[in-house]
């Protein structure tokens, strides 16, 4: 399979990036981040999560964030753990929802208090109630490694992906939650999944905890996948690896795509400016290498 001509980047910093921080980012700042990144050309956002505020206090203001964003041409997705979350997401007026399962029972139990089959039941119940026209993306976590169970069986990921596709999920995103997977691990999972699910419905979500994310992005592009999550400035972390990096940085992905002549939304220098300013204002590490180099180069030129 050849590389796609165009890739859809979903900007994950507002949700996956911010929710793994130990601090609460004020509502206005979350809205400002999405608005500024959309001014930088990004269109698709993993914006919020409609989880219980007790479980994830960082996302307690999900509805206010959706209400506050200047919604000119942007696509806002909200993660939905259950029917109550779906109701809140629909009331808030999201463009799409995300639902969550995992390829490891122990991880799923600790993450969302349901084993894999129970999480699939919840997804099934949500799908039965989803209003027409609302896009549904299903995430499968721990596709290569589980922090409790070790290496993941790729066949299990493929079976879950196939069921989610058959149930009508528009997109199935493969989440390498720990960032431990190397290209060999990811290749095995993709081989299994692509035998059961059309590539046009697959996306990938990599964490850069062990520095492997961009190599895994390349592998996924080579497999024909044209949808991926990334986070401006590499915002975020990994609750299972203290001090570790977050999602693969949007700017690093953009540099790759620009170098390969693959079309995408957003401008690398503008995204880097927005993310660097946000990190600076909230005392967070700015982690994009391509972003830092791009900003440094623009200062030299200026």
Give catalytic residue positions. 238
73 touching its own copies, by CB under 8 A: no
228 touching its own copies, by CB under 8 A: no
Let me know: does 253 contact 205? Beta carbons within 8 Å: no
Whichever of 73 and 261 has its CB closer to its own copies, that residue is 261
Residues in the chain: 302
Burial zone of 109 (CB within 10 Å; 0-12 exposed, 13-18 middle, 19+ buried): middle
75 forms bridges with which residues in the sheet? Answer: 44
- Where do the H-state alpha helices sit in the chain? 18-19, 27-39, 62-68, 83-92, 105-112, 116-129, 154-166, 183-194, 213-222, 250-260, 268-281, 289-301
Please pick, from the candidates 260, 263, 280, 298, the single residue that binds its own copies as defined by CB under 8 A: 260
Which residue, 179, 184, 299, is CA-closest to 229?
179
CA distance 59 to 36: 19
Maximum separation of any 2 CA atoms in the chain, in Å? 56
Please choose, out of 40-48, 121-129, 152-160, 240-248, the segment that lies near its own copies by the rule CB under 8 A. 240-248
241 touching its own copies, by CB under 8 A: yes
CA–CA distances in Å: residue 162 to residues 97, 140, 148, 193, 200: 19, 11, 25, 8, 13
Let me know: does 142 contact 72? Beta carbons within 8 Å: no
300 touching its own copies, by CB under 8 A: yes
Please choose, out of 18-26, 42-50, 166-174, 248-256, the segment that lies near its own copies by the rule CB under 8 A. 248-256
256 touching its own copies, by CB under 8 A: yes
Shortest approach of its own copies to residue 38 CB, angstroms? 23
Whichever of 68 and 224 has its CB closer to its own copies, that residue is 224
21 touching its own copies, by CB under 8 A: no
Whichever of 23 and 296 has its CB closer to its own copies, that residue is 296
Whichever of 64 and 258 has its CB closer to its own copies, that residue is 258
CA distance 276 to 184: 33
Shortest approach of its own copies to residue 27 CB, angstroms? 31
Shortest approach of its own copies to residue 256 CB, angstroms? 5
- What x/- string results for residues 268 through 297 when contact with its own copies is judged by CB under 8 A? --------------------xxx-xxx-xx
Which residue, 177, 118, 168, is CA-closest to 143?
177
What does 101-133 look like in DSSP terms, one character per residue? EES-HHHHHHHHSS-HHHHHHHHHHHHHHPPTT
Shortest approach of its own copies to residue 201 CB, angstroms? 25
157 touching its own copies, by CB under 8 A: no
Please pick, from the candidates 127, 218, 267, 269, the single residue that binds its own copies as defined by CB under 8 A: 218
Please pick, from the candidates 43, 167, 210, 282, the single residue that binds its own copies as defined by CB under 8 A: 210
Residues binding its own copies (CB under 8 A): 179-185, 208-212, 214-215, 217-219, 241-245, 249, 251-252, 255-256, 258-261, 288-290, 292-294, 296-297, 299-300
């Amino acid at each position: 399979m050849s590389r796609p001509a165009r890739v859809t980047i979903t900007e994950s910093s507002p949700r996956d990036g911010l929710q793994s921080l130990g601090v609460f980012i004020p509502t206005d700042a979350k809205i400002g981040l999405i608005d500024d990144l959309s001014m930088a050309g990004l269109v698709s956002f993993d914006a919020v999560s409609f989880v219980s505020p007790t479980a994830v206090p960082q996302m307690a203001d999900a509805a206010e964030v959706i209400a506050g964003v200047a919604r000119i041409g942007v696509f806002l997705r909200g993660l939905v753990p259950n029917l109550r979350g779906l109701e809140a997401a629909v009331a808030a007026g999201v463009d799409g929802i995300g639902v969550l399962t995992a390829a490891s029972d122990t991880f799923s139990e600790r993450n969302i208090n349901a084993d894999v089959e129970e999480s699939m039941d919840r997804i099934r119940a949500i799908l039965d109630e989803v209003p027409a026209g609302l896009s549904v993306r299903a995430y499968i976590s721990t596709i290569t490694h589980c922090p409790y169970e070790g290496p993941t069986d790729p066949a299990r990921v493929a079976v879950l992906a196939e069921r989610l596709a058959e149930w009508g999920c528009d997109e199935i995103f493969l989440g390498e939650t720990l960032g431990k997977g190397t290209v060999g691990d990811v290749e095995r999972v993709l081989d299994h999944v692509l035998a059961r699910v059309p590539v046009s419905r697959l996306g990938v979500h990599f964490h850069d905890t062990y520095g492997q994310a961009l190599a895994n992005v390349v592998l996924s592009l080579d497999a024909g996948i044209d949808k991926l999550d990334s986070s401006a400035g590499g915002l975020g972390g990994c609750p299972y690896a203290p001090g570790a990096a977050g999602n693969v940085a949007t700017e690093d992905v953009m540099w790759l795509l620009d170098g390969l002549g693959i079309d995408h939304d957003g401008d690398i220098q503008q995204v880097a400016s927005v993310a660097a300013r946000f990190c600076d204002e909230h005392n967070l590490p700015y982690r994009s290498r391509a972003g830092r180099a791009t900003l440094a180069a623009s200062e030299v030129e200026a």
